[in-house]
Amino acid sequence: MTEQQLHIALNSGRLSKEKINRLVGQLSLHPELTGSLLQEVFDQDKTDSFNASWVFDHLMRKKLDYLLPHLEKFSIGLLELQSESIIRPMAHVCELLMEAYFKKKDPIFIKHMTPEQLERIMTVCFDWLIGDHKVAAKVFAMSSLFYLGSKYDWVHPELKMVLEQQIHEGTAGFKSRGGKTLMALEKLGF
């Protein structure tokens, strides 16, 4: 697969789940196209399309390490996202990264992620959590923030405060994850 073929595939109408899986299979064999795919995500944020973000999310579920050379671009680009349809899968990728770094303690992610990249992800996750965003983005953001709180001591008290303020107005999904997160924070002494 070439960069041009990827561009055409991502910009030729809405992708079915089958087409997404096929593209992910092809991209799994071409890690050199990860940067191009990420650029397509950011380019599509200015359009009505979100194919690239769906493909990116599914690729990261299988090959998260493909993101390592692009962490700087990824973390900077998150701050500019506007489309809810793109924020959701990118918030999921943030959660995958935080799980790799904090929960799995994967040495390759610990070695390659800089404090500045972690702080950008933390900033955008707080923005997504407190902003007017759909529940999936908020849920992924709260998970990421929970993990980040193990490195940044001020995050857990802030996360607790935000969740306590929002939980009563949230959807069933938000209340469920928010309640579990609050219980986990309580176990940690917050």
pLDDT in tens, 22-70: 999 999 999 999 999 999 999 999 898 999 999 999 999 999 999 999 9
Residue pLDDT, tens place only, 67-85: 999 999 999 999 999 999 9
Tell me the pTM. 0.96
Cα angle 36-40-45, degrees, rounded to a multiple of 5: 155
Q: For residue 128, is pLDDT > 90? A: yes
Mean of per-residue pLDDT scores for the chain = 96
Close Cβ partners of 54 (under 8 Å, ≥ 6 residues apart)? 15, 20, 89
Look at residue 50 in the predicted model and tell me its pLDDT. 95
Residue 62 and residue 29 in contact, taking contact as beta carbons nearer than 8 Å: no
The predicted structure's pLDDT at residue 61: 98
Contacts of 73 (CB under 8 A, 6+ apart): 35, 38, 39
Structural domains in the chain, sorted by start:
3-187 (1.25.10)
pLDDT band at 103 (very low <50, low <70, confident <90, very high): very high
pLDDT of residue 170: 87
| DSSP assigned state of 153 | T
pLDDT value of position 123? 97
Name residue 121's amino acid. Answer: I
- Please give the structure tokens belonging to residue 107: 């040495």
**Could you tell me where the DSSP H helices lie in 79-154?**
84-98, 107-112, 115-130, 135-148
